[in-house]
Structure 1
Amino acid sequence: MEPYSCDTFVALPPATVGNRVIFGKNSDRLFDEVQEVIYFPGAVHSDLSKRLKCTYIEIDQVPETYAVVLSRPAWLWGAEMGANEHGVCIGNEAVWGREAISKEEALLGMDLVRLGLERADTAEKALDVIVDLLEKYGQGGNCAEGEEFSYYNSFLIADRNEAWILETSGKYWAAEKVQGIRNISNQLSITSRIDREHPDMRNYAKQKGWWDGQEDFDFAAAYSYINTASMMTSPSRYCQGYTLLNKHKGNITFETMMGILRDEPSGINMKGEFLSTASMVSVLPRDSSLPCVHFFTGTPHPERSVFKPFIFVPHISQLFDTQSPTFELERPLARKPYVKPDRRHPLYQKHQQALEVISHNKVLTCALLRIPAPWLHLLLAPPISVSSSLHP
């Protein structure tokens, strides 16, 4: 499978309006994958002998987990993106480099997103959670249902006060504290500005012959094949995303972020075999008396989707309209051909019906434009109604 991935963005004051941190992400996945938006309440775990089952492996549980709202591929345990009750937001990207991708089942990057949200009340603590789990359990396993698709991960982690980029290659990692605006895509992007790192990261690169130990250390150059000198002038989505952020620097709002996620010329709003299957934008006020607001589409095509707000409040009920049916997870490649179960949730089904109506009306309009003018007014005279079944 071609190495495609998503785009995640963050903007911190003074790049934003109203002293707010703005976070955004498009989740670009296989075009037929359903993504659900689901809420899990916080919990106290008294029996720590009981192991936690993630997508593929079991890990140690912790005494307390925080409430989270997740946008996730409906077939797995982890999440592409989400937020917790303390205003921490995380999104991940697939990345590739010199280190061979492990197919051995371990923690997926998406598992690490959920674990970071469930176990940390600040962005930097979430970074600590992820790198500790990475060291203990590793990352690996198939990342798509019914397809062979494996990768390492980068993460953008934000809270009300700060944001971090965490990029990984196997168990090795580097982290950069964000200043102003930042984005990540499907490439390593941390160069020589490294604020935290795996203690053996440089030595490993030197042993592998990726760094001579003399030049200034450049994480992306050492662990991938990227020419970092031309990274910001390439036509990549990473470069295009930064250009869009920088264009609005100083005036970035949540509407600005939604516009970036809907941008087609840059490729950020992806279409084709890989599709922007779900999108998220979060508003994180630095004033702790104000609530964080998290907008999710729960549906593909961000330019045709509504971003629906979610706020953590007491006594939240489950989000049934965006919750997919539950099926027992099979190993995605256990049998051929693999038949995916129907995981469409009610909102996804309504969205599909609406797209069919839009598509039908476009075809009808094109056909009408080819009809001789004297007959056109007769065909347009009757009112066109939409079936009430399309309305929730």
Structure 2
Amino acid sequence: MCDIMILRKNGYTYFAKNSDREPGEAQLVVRIQPAVNDKSAKIKTTYLEINQTKDRFGVILSKPFWIWGAEMGANDQGVVIGNTAIFSKVQEKTNGLIGMDLLRLGLERGSSAKHALNEITNLLQKYGQGGVCGYYDKSLRYDNSFIIADANEAWVLEAVNRHWVAKKVDIFAATSNCMTIGTDFDLKSDGIEDFAKQRGLFSGKGDFDFTKAFDTRFIPFFARSKQRLATSISSLRKTYEAPEIKSADIMNILRCHQSFSTSHYARTNSDTCMHMAGYIRRSQTCGSMVSFINATKSTHFFTGTSAPCLSIFKPVNFNYLEEFCVLNKDEFTVKDSIWQRHEHIHRRIILNPNDRDELLKSRDDAENKIHACFDLQSYDKICFQWENHWYEHFRKKPFCYSPLSFYSQIWRRLNKVDSIE
């Protein structure tokens, strides 16, 4: 499950996303340099080999370590994209380009939000979308929606099978694992109405309603997608109406919990900041991203960790001479990654909330210092010191497992599988 938010005000575009995946699926932040006149004819995506383009933009991606594509990211042209799963009545069962592959291809090839949208939809119609997207759960397949934005415009793109609709964003929008576009689309794929009619999903009378035709309500109901969407829209409206938008305001939206309980087990799928807790709530926030974009500058922040409520947003840019602590050494190596190190913090705190208050105070103090920084390298140094301090503090502490707690025993098993002990 995922949540994406976009807000446009006073020449700025504000982008935020929580990527909710299976616990144990490390999500790595990587920076990939642009390619010029690359001679490679083909590129192997997660499941398909497709034609490669010789010129590609530099990208920063937050990606599951075993996937070629990414959950969210930015390119050096000021384009940002986030991807969420949606569930439709017409999902393809064969392998195609998964949504994360389409996202990466859109960033590598798109010089603007509209250009990236066109690249994604062209690839979607040529290759289709499909493939297993679960790390442990090999039955997990889904269709995809995207928010695609730059300094000048933003789009919501929703795609089922090889068809799609897109809606331009005026002020703000959000997506949360449910379809949001009905009859109010601005662009659509050729033949989408006929496609729906052939499957008995559209009578041909009246305006074509994308959500009414293709939505399946079962998974979104249990995922509490509509509740999370409503929370996101409410938060965006309050932020837009505020006299000033601060970076902390956007980051804190991604830390939102609906329950005031100190127990992570007591929380629900309605939370923007998701915590795994058993069969119904099997995913959790494994990575978070916030971007601020205007006509002259793009600034990007990633947690590089799960649980944004227990983490800190770390900066990164496209100056390849500058190193940042959130960046992983490559696209696939989990060992010694900041994601893996932070799990020693995260997994101990969720089992012993008494440790949380001290960490949160430290996080707030660090972020107050960070927001006073005038350069990203000073910002990054504070982030590195914070992560390293708490890693050393927690990594040798025993886990507080309770033999009578189902939640505790789930985490005991997961920690053993993931070698977090």
TM range (shorter): 0.7 to 0.9
Structure 1: gaps spanning 5 or more residues: 228-232, 328-342, 367-385
Contact kept? 2:78, 2:150, Cα under 8 Å:
yes
- Residue 44 of structure 1 and its aligned partner are, at CA, apart by 1.6
1:230 match: none
Counterpart residue identity of residue 24, structure 2 = D
Which structure 2 residues correspond to residues 1-392 of structure 1 after superposition, within 5 A? 5-14=1-10, 19-48=11-40, 50-99=41-90, 101-148=91-138, 149-225=140-216, 236-251=227-242, 252-265=245-258, 266-272=270-276, 273-286=282-295, 288=296, 291-316=297-322, 322-323=328-329, 326=332, 343-355=334-346, 358=349, 362=353, 389-390=392-393
Contact kept? 2:183, 2:209, Cα under 8 Å:
yes
1:373 match: none
- Residue 172 of structure 1 and its aligned partner are, at CA, apart by 0.6
Query: Following the alignment from structure 1 to structure 2, what is the Cα–Cα distance between the partners of residues 206 and 360?
Result: 51
Query: Following the alignment from structure 2 to structure 1, what is the Cα–Cα distance between the partners of residues 24 and 128?
Result: 29
Q: Residues 33 and 387 from structure 1, CA distance in 2 versus in 1: closer, same or farther, beyond 3 angstroms?
A: closer
Q: Specify which structure has the bigger relative contact order, considering alpha-carbon pairs within 8 angstroms and separated by 6 or more residues.
A: 1
Q: Residues 319 and 56 from structure 1, CA distance in 2 versus in 1: closer, same or farther, beyond 3 angstroms?
A: farther
Counterpart residue identity of residue 25, structure 2 = E
SS of aligned partner of 1:131: helix
Counterpart residue identity of residue 260, structure 1 = I
Query: Following the alignment from structure 2 to structure 1, what is the Cα–Cα distance between the partners of residues 390 and 313?
Result: 23
Counterpart residue identity of residue 30, structure 2 = I
- Most deviating of 355-364 and 121-130: 355-364
- Residue 313 of structure 1 and its aligned partner are, at CA, apart by 1.9
Q: Residues 320 and 169 from structure 1, CA distance in 2 versus in 1: closer, same or farther, beyond 3 angstroms?
A: closer
- Residue 196 of structure 1 and its aligned partner are, at CA, apart by 0.8
Q: Residues 240 and 359 from structure 1, CA distance in 2 versus in 1: closer, same or farther, beyond 3 angstroms?
A: closer
Counterpart residue identity of residue 293, structure 1 = T
SS of aligned partner of 1:43: coil
How many residues were matched structurally?
Answer: 340
- Residue 362 of structure 1 and its aligned partner are, at CA, apart by 4.7
Q: Residues 361 and 189 from structure 1, CA distance in 2 versus in 1: closer, same or farther, beyond 3 angstroms?
A: closer
Query: Following the alignment from structure 1 to structure 2, what is the Cα–Cα distance between the partners of residues 131 and 355?
Result: 38
Query: Following the alignment from structure 2 to structure 1, what is the Cα–Cα distance between the partners of residues 325 and 42?
Result: 26
Contact kept? 2:30, 2:329, Cα under 8 Å:
yes
- Residue 344 of structure 1 and its aligned partner are, at CA, apart by 4.2
Q: Residues 94 and 358 from structure 1, CA distance in 2 versus in 1: closer, same or farther, beyond 3 angstroms?
A: closer
Structure 2: gaps spanning 5 or more residues: 219-223, 259-269, 277-281, 358-388, 396-421
Q: Residues 320 and 179 from structure 1, CA distance in 2 versus in 1: closer, same or farther, beyond 3 angstroms?
A: closer
Structure 1 length normalisation: TM-score?
0.80
Structure 2 length normalisation: TM-score?
0.75
Query: Following the alignment from structure 1 to structure 2, what is the Cα–Cα distance between the partners of residues 162 and 297?
Result: 25
2:266 match: none
Counterpart residue identity of residue 311, structure 1 = N
- Which has the higher Rg, Structure 1 or Structure 2? 1
Q: Residues 359 and 316 from structure 1, CA distance in 2 versus in 1: closer, same or farther, beyond 3 angstroms?
A: same
